[in-house]
């Protein structure tokens, strides 16, 4: 029997080698398809309409794409048809059939993400072109990094980047702990009905748009007709210029952000707290721990992963300051100074002035920085706490 077992080992090793070859073929076919797309976009983007010839530049990537598609179909057929790897393919087929309804629910979401998030990525090349609507994205003149240089050399670049960093970092420091504190405080409420009432009240502002928020602020703090300023002036004090004073803009930003989003942010932390084992609290109570000690030594460590995950995601969006908020709260007195961030500058250049190539280049720079900060935040948090997002 030992001899028979030894004789079967080479066969299993050969089957595994075939399986690895099939996996390698699948990966190679996908890379061929992706490479053909990148190749086609690159050559059309660089060469442009005047020198474009499909027979010279378009046929090679098309042939590569067709070869990749044929190879992909062949590798899938081999995976399910070859007898030597049928042991693995049957297990995959069985799992697919067993969870077919779950996969059918996931599939529409994957298609939507691919169509609306990945396919439009070819528009990134707009940042490297002198875009003309008549020529289109593909056949506009290639200018390389001209728009990046143009932005960084502009007099507003430094102030815009600084405003974006400053608002993103200070908003993170000021507003991020608030939902955690609210969740911990609500967890200490004994009455379930009272806690639900408080939750409903603090959730509601999230559903108010920033347009309505500005209307409320204008109705309250307008110098000429605001309710608060009328009351202040009736008592003999000067009116509070909250909306147009650059020195008060950041305070208004943080205040409205906390009022609108802090309650909604508690949902994740309340869900994490609900999953904490209640026996841990009972054991701590029997050991003499008070509510503060239970919160510090049980609740916070139990929701640490949720906190670190949200922290990493928030750090990854520091360069993407809240566009809706700033766009609606800025005024003529603040929009070119403290309220000018990258998002609003991209809007002004792209939608306002039609400079789509420049706005694309600036947006690409912003997202690259966000991506780098996301990975750095994950690395730092993982080093300090041992828990990271990935």
Q: pLDDT for 97-156, tens place per residue? A: 888 898 899 999 999 998 898 888 888 888 888 888 887 777 888 888 899 999 999 999
Does residue 139 form part of some domain? no
Q: pLDDT for 315-371, tens place per residue? A: 888 887 678 899 888 888 888 788 889 999 999 998 888 899 999 999 999 989 988
Does residue 159 form part of some domain? yes
CA geometry: angle at 328 spanning 327 and 329, to 5°? 100
Residue 303: phi and psi, rounded to 5, are -105, 15
Q: Are residues 165 and 262 in the same domain?
A: yes
Structure confidence at residue 1 (pLDDT): 41
- pTM here is 0.78
Task: Please determine, for residue 31, whether its predicted confidence score (pLDDT) is greater than 90.
Answer: yes
Does residue 229 form part of some domain? yes
Domain total for the chain? 2
Give the C-alpha distances (Å, rounded to integers) separating 245 from 174, 250, 334: 21, 10, 7
Q: Are residues 215 and 358 in the same domain?
A: yes
Does residue 141 form part of some domain? no
Among 20, 18, 17, 39, residue whose Cα is nearest residue 28: 20
Averaged pLDDT of the chain: 86
**At which of 99, 133, 167 does a domain end?**
133
CA of residue 257 relative to chain centroid, distance: 19
- Return d(Cα 187, Cα 177) in angstroms, integer: 16
Structure confidence at residue 180 (pLDDT): 93
Q: Are residues 86 and 157 in the same domain?
A: no
Does residue 143 form part of some domain? no
Helix (H) or strand (E) holding 226: none
Domain boundaries, position 263: 148-385
**Do residues 153 and 144 touch, judged by C-beta distance below 8 A?**
no
Q: Are residues 104 and 162 in the same domain?
A: no
Q: Are residues 349 and 259 in the same domain?
A: yes
Beta bridge partners of 129: 142
């Amino acid at each position: 029997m030992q001899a028979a077992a030894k004789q079967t080992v080479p066969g299993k090793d050969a089957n595994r080698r075939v399986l690895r070859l099939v996996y390698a073929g699948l990966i190679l076919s996908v890379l061929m398809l992706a490479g053909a797309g990148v190749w086609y976009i690159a050559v059309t983007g660089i060469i442009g309409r005047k020198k474009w010839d499909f027979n010279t530049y378009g046929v090679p990537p098309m042939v590569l794409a067709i070869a990749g598609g044929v190879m992909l179909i062949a590798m899938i057929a081999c995976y399910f048809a070859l007898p030597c790897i049928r042991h693995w393919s049957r297990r995959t087929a069985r799992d697919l059939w067993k969870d077919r309804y779950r996969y059918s629910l996931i599939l529409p979401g994957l298609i939507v993400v691919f169509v609306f998030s990945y396919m439009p990525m070819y528009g990134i090349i707009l940042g490297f072109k002198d875009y003309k609507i008549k020529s289109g994205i593909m056949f506009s003149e290639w200018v390389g990094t001209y728009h990046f240089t143009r932005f960084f050399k502009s007099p507003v670049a430094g102030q815009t980047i600084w405003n974006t960093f400053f608002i993103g970092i200070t908003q993170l420091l000021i507003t991020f702990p608030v939902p955690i504190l609210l969740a911990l405080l609500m967890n200490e409420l004994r009455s379930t009905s009272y806690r639900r009432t408080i939750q409903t009240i603090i959730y509601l502002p999230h559903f108010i748009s920033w347009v309505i928020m500005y209307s409320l602020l204008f109705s309250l703090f307008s110098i000429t007709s605001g309710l608060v300023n009328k009351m202040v002036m009736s008592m003999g004090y000067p009116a509070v210029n909250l909306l147009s004073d650059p020195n008060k803009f950041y305070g208004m930003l943080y205040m409205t952000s906390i009022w609108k989003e802090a309650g909604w942010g508690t949902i994740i932390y309340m869900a994490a707290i609900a999953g904490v084992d209640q026996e841990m609290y009972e054991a701590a109570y029997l050991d003499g721990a008070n509510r503060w000690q239970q919160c510090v030594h049980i609740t916070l460590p139990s929701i640490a992963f949720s906190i670190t995950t949200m922290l990493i995601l928030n750090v990854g969006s520091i360069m993407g300051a809240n566009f809706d908020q700033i766009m609606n709260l800025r005024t003529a007195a603040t929009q070119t100074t403290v309220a000018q961030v990258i998002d609003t500058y991209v809007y002004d250049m792209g939608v306002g002035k039609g400079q789509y190539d420049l706005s694309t280049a600036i947006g690409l720079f912003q997202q690259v920085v966000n991506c780098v900060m996301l990975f750095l935040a994950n690395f730092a948090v993982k080093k300090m706490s041992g828990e990271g997002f990935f």
